[in-house]
Amino acid sequence: MTGVETEMIETLQQRVNDDQGLVRRGRYLTTTFLLEVGHACWLISIFEGRIVSVTSGPFVMPSSAFALRAPEEEWKKFWSERPPPGSNDLMALIKRRVLKAEGNLQIFMSHLRYFKEALGKLRAAAGGA
């Protein structure tokens, strides 16, 4: 990841927190998950629907409820302005076995719309970069 892309990931906090509807739908969600983009990773902490921190790795012993891991080129397609078929949704990446969702997935699945929309926020960030 280049520096520009690292900054892009870190815009997640404001982009999510600025969306009142998204925060409201996540009001019972408090967790920390690991986002892995190729060899780079971030711990993203959420408290009652608001992202409270996006911390860049590498980490020695990262603790998270679950992790979302995919190669950089797959995330780039997912975050492109008009993702191609098969790259337009987290479930599409999972179907193609390129996104690995690991850990306590009850948290992920019970707030699936939240996580899809939150990570989709970086699509706008990529478009503006």
Quote the least distance from Cβ 116 to another protein, whole Å: 6
Phi, psi of 65 (to 5 degrees): -70, -40
Compare residues 52 and 105 and give the one whose CB is closer to another protein: 105
Compare residues 55 and 104 and give the one whose CB is closer to another protein: 104
**Helix 112-128 crosses helix 3-10 at what angle (to 10 degrees)?**
140
Per-position b or e across 30-57, b if 16+ CB within 10 A of its CB: ebbbbbbbeebbbbbbbeebbbeebeee
Quote the least distance from Cβ 102 to another protein, whole Å: 12
Compare residues 25 and 40 and give the one whose CB is closer to another protein: 25
Report the candidate in 89, 52, 46 with the shortest Cα–Cα distance to residue 70: 89
Compare residues 1 and 123 and give the one whose CB is closer to another protein: 123
Q: Contact residues for another protein (CB under 8 A)?
A: 82-83, 85-86, 88-92, 94-97, 105-106, 109-110, 112-113, 116
> Mapping DSSP to helix (H, G, I), strand (E, B) and coil, where does residue 100 land?
strand
Query: For residues 99 and 93, is the Cβ–Cβ distance under 8 A?
Result: yes
Quote the least distance from Cβ 94 to another protein, whole Å: 6
Quote the least distance from Cβ 97 to another protein, whole Å: 8
